[in-house]
Structure 1
Amino acid sequence: MKFFWALLLSLALSAPALAAEPGVTDSQILIGQSAPFTGPASQLGIRLRMGIDAYFKSVNADGGVDGRQLKLISLDDGYEPGRTVANTKQLIDNDKVFALLGYVGTPTTLAAKPLIDAAKIPLVGPFTGAMALRDPVDRYIFNIRASYNDETRQIVDNFLFLGLKRVAVFYQDDAYGKAGLTGVVKALAAHGLKPVATGTVKRNTVDVAAALKSILPAHPDLIVEVGTYTEAAAFIQQARAQGYGGQFANVSFVGSEALAKALGPEGNGVMITQVVPFPYSGVAAIVREYQARMTAAGHPNDYDFTSLEGYIDAKVLVQGLRKAGKALTRNNLIDALNGMNAEDLGGFVVHFTPTDHAGSSYVDVTSITQNGKFRH
C-alpha cells in the first residue's frame, strides 16, 4: 500500500513537468526570431520586427492569449546562414522558445531548416518565397507570403503584355537568387522564351561590375533583379550611368522603401512586386487595423510593405495560438494552423491545410514614383 501511494505521489509530482511545453508558462509565451538587424539587409529585419511588435503590443494590452503575454526574442544574423544556425540553436536549446516567427531570407531559413525539423518547432511567416521551403511540404514551416514563382510570373506576364520580349536577370548568387532566377526562367518558358543574359552578385556585397558586363551588351528591354536593396540600387545606378534606358523590376524581398530611399530620383519607374496589400491606403480592413496599431505602438504614419508583412505574420501566429486552446502545445498549434483553410484577416486571406503550407498567392505590382513614393 505504501508503494502504491508513493507511486501516485511520484506521478502527480512529475505530471506538470511532463506536460510543460517549452516557452509556455501560465503568464507568458516565448517566440523566437532570427533576422538581419545589422549589415546591408538590416532594414528587412528591422521593419519586419516593427510590424510584429506592433501586433504583439496590441494583443498584450488586451490581455494576451488566454491570459499569457507574448514575448519576442529577436537575434541578429546579419543575413548570414551560419549565424542563423547559431541563433536557432540558441533560441531552441537555451532560450526555450515555443515557436519561431519571421525569419528573413532563403539561404538563412534553409540553413536553419534541419534544426527546425529536428526540434519539431513551428516556424510561421519566413520572409522568403523559395519553393524549397514549400515543396515538399514541411510540417513545421508555414509560409504566408506568395512564392517567387508567383511574383516572377506576374512580372514577366505583365511585361510581355507590352510586346517587349528581351528579359535579363540580375540575381544574388545563393539559394534566394537562384530561386528567383528559376521563377523567371519558368515564366519565360511558358511563352517560349529564355533570358537573354544573366549576371550575379555575392550576398552582402555591391560588386556588380561583372554582372553589368554580362547583361548590358545583350540590350535587354527588362532586367529582373533578385537581390536586396543595396545590391539592386548599386546595379541600377551603375547601369543608368552606363546609358541603360530599359526597365527594372524587383521581387518583394528587395525591401521596397529602402530601395526607393537608396535610389532617390533614379528610382522613378522601377517596378516591385508586393505580397501584401498596399500599406498606405485604408481600403483593406487589415491595413486600417495595421495603421491604427502602428500608431498606438509609437510609429504614426511610418507604414511600409515589410512592417505590414510582419504584422500579418504575427496575426496569423496569434490566430493559431488562440485556436490551439488553453492547453497549448506545439502540436496543437500546428493542427490549428492546418485548420486555417480560408482565414480572412480583413481583406487578406490565408489558406493552410496539412498538405499545403503556401498560405497566400497574393501579388500586387507597384512602381516607385519620382518623389520616392509608390503607385499601384
Structure 2
Amino acid sequence: MTLKPWPALLALLLGWSAVTAQAADPGVSDNEIRIGQFAAQTGPAAELGKRMQVGILAHFSAVNAAGGINGRQLKLISRDDGYEPEKAAAAVKALIEEDKVFALIGSVGTPTTLAAVPAINAAGIPLIGPFTGAQALREPFNRNLFHVRASYFDETERIVQHLSTLGIKKIAVFYQNDSYGKAGLAGVERALTKRNLKPAAAVTVERNSVDVTAALAEILKAAPEAVIQISAYKSCAALIKQARAKAYGGQFFNVSFVGSQALANELGDAGVGVTISQVVPFPYIASSVVVREYQQRMTEAGQKEFDFSSMEGFLAAKVFTEGLRRTGKNLTRDGLMTALESLRDLNMGGFTINYGPKEHEGSRYTDLTIIGRGGKFMR
C-alpha cells in the first residue's frame, strides 16, 4: 500500500525545523536585521545615550543606503534606561524577548551594563561596543561582550602618567558612588600605587545627583593640586563650577565617560583648562581616514555637530557591521561572535581593533584633550 501522506508530512517536518532554527536566532529576516540598544535617553546622563545613538545611526544609514548587509537593512531599536540599573535590566529583557533583536550595541554605563549581563548571558546574545571601560565587564572573560574602547585602567594610567611628568603628586579623586565610580577609583589607585602615591582625598557623589557640597568641602580641606573625576557630566560640572567659585586653583581631569561635549556645554566659561582622556580619535579635525568617514556619514545623516560620544557610536557600528559581513548570509549569534573574533589588526583608517577567541578588548587607544575658549577642544 502506498502511503501518500508521507511527502506532505515530510514537508511539514522540514518547515517546522526551519522555523525552529530561525527562532533560535531571532531578529533576522530576509530583508532586515534588528539590533537593540539600551541607554539613557532621559535624565542627567541623557546626552551620552543620545549621542552614542546618533553615531550608530549615522553608520547604519550609510550601510542601508548602499544596500545593507547581504541585502538586509539594519534596524536599530533603542530603549531608554535613564542610566539606572533596574531600568537597564528591564530594557534589555524587553529588547530580547519583545523586540526579538539579533544583537545588542552601544549600551551606556557600567552599572546599567552590569545589570544587563545576566539576561545577555542567558540569551547568548552579543553586545558590541558598550560605552564603559570597567574591569568588571572585562574580567572574567565573557564571550558575549565585545569592547571597542580602552579600559578605565588605561585612561587613568594615562592621566596619572601625565600628572607625574608635571611633578604633580597631590591628587584627589571625586567618584560616583556606584560600580562605574569605583572602577575609576580602582584605576586611579592602581596608577598611583605604581608611583608609591595615594589619593590625597577620595570623595563621592550619588548617581544622577548634583549634590556635591560635602564632597567639595573635603576636597578643599585636602587642598590637592589636581582632582580626577569619575562621574557623569552634570555632577562633574557642578563640582568644578562650585570649586572655581571658591577660588580653588587646582586642575581637573575626567575620563571619557563623562561625555566631553556635554561637560563643556554644562561648564561654559568655567570649562577652560579642564582635561579629559579620550578613547577614540579626535573627531573635529579630519586628520585620518576614519575621522573623515565619520564626518561624512554624520553630515549625510543631517548631523551638523561632531563629538567624541557619537564618534564612539560610529566606531562600534563599524566593528559590528564588519562582523556581520564576515559572518555571511547565514546569520547566527554564534557565527557573528566567531566572525568578530577573527578581527585581527583591523585598521579602520586610524583606529585599530584586535579581537581573538579569548580576547575581546579591542583597543588600548587613549589620548588627552583640553577644553579651550568657547568650549572648543584642543589636543
Secondary structure of the residue that 1:204 maps to in structure 2? Answer: coil
Residue number in structure 2 paired with 1:325: 328
Q: Which residue of 235, 245, 248 maps to 1:244? A: 248
- Whether 1:36 and 2:40 are equivalent positions in the alignment is yes
- The alpha-carbon deviation at position 181 of structure 1 amounts to 0.1
Q: Does 1:343 align with 2:362?
A: no
> Residues of 1 paired with 2:21 and 2:119: CA distance?
23
Structure 1 CA distance for aligned equivalents of residues 286 and 277 of structure 2: 19
Deviation sequence 1:175-221 (CA, Å, 0-9, x none): 00000000000000000001010110000010001111222111111
1:308 aligned to 2:314?
A: no
SS state at 1:371 partner: helix
Aligned equivalent of 2:17, options 15, 18, 28: 15
Q: Deviations over 1:97-137 (max 9, x none)?
A: 00000000000000000110000000000000000111111
Task: After TM superposition, list the pairs within 5 Å mapping 1:128-147 onto structure 2.
Answer: 128-147=132-151
Amino acid aligned to 2:95:
L
CA drift at 1:273: 0.3
Stretches of structure 2 lacking an aligned partner (at least 5 in a row): none
Matched, 1:195 2:199: yes
User: Displacement, 1:31?
Assistant: 0.2
Following superposition, the deviation at residue 354 of structure 1 comes to 1.4
1:373 to 353, 361, 376: 376
Aligned to 1:90: 94
Q: Distance in 2 between matches of 1:356 and 1:211?
A: 38
Of the three residues 52, 58, 67, the one matched with 1:54 is 58
Aligned mate of 1:119, from 119, 123, 148? 123
| Distance (whole Å) between structure 2 residues aligned to residue 97 and residue 170 of structure 1 | 38
Q: CA deviation at 1:16?
A: 2.0
Q: CA shift at 1:10, angstroms? A: 3.0
Say which of 257, 263, 267 aligns to 2:261.
257
Q: Distance in 2 between matches of 1:137 and 1:281?
A: 36
Pairing partner for 1:286 from 287, 290, 310: 290
Residues 1:359 and 2:357 are matched in the alignment: no
Measure, in 2, the Cα distance between the counterparts of 1:270 and 1:217: 21
Measure how far apart 1:7 and its partner are.
4.7
Q: Secondary structure of 2:297's match?
A: helix
Residue aligning to 1:67: 71
CA–CA separation in structure 1 for the residues paired with 2:60 and 2:180? 29
Secondary structure at the counterpart of residue 193 of structure 1? coil
Residue 162 of structure 2: aligned partner? 158
Take 2:106 and 2:280, find their aligned partners in 1: how far apart are those partners? 15
Deviations 1:260-306 (A, max 9, x none): 11111111110000000000111110000010111100113x10000
Residue 125 of structure 1 aligns to which amino acid in structure 2? G
Q: Does 1:334 align with 2:370?
A: no
Q: Kindly state the Cα deviation for residue 14 of structure 1 after the two structures are TM-superposed.
A: 1.4
After TM superposition, the score normalised by the length of structure 2 is 0.97
- 1:264 is aligned with what amino acid? G
Q: For 1:156, what is the secondary structure of its paired residue?
A: helix
SS in 2 for 1:182: helix
What is the letter of the counterpart of residue 189 of structure 1? T
1:297 counterpart (301, 306, 315): 301
Which segments of structure 1 move beyond 4 Å, counting only runs of 4 or more?
none
SS in 2 for 1:248: strand
Deviation at 1:9, TM superposition (A): 2.3
Selected match of 2:209 from 205, 212, 232? 205
Deviation at 1:44, TM superposition (A): 0.2
Alpha-carbon distance between aligned partners in 2 of 1:349 and 1:50, rounded to the nearest angstrom: 22
CA distance in 2, matches of 1:213, 1:206: 14
Q: CA deviation at 1:6?
A: 5.2
Correspondent of 1:24 among 17, 22, 28 = 28
Local SS of the residue matching 2:70:
coil
TM-score by length of 1: 0.98
CA distance, structure 1, for counterparts of residue 302 and residue 235 of structure 2? 31
- Structure-2 separation of matches of 1:255 and 1:13: 49
Aligned residue for 2:374, secondary structure, equals coil
Q: Specify every segment of 5 or more residues in structure 1 that has no aligned partner in the other structure, as ranges.
A: none
Q: How far off its partner does 1:345 sit?
A: 1.1
Partner of 1:107 in structure 2?
A: 111
CA RMSD of aligned residues (A): 1.0
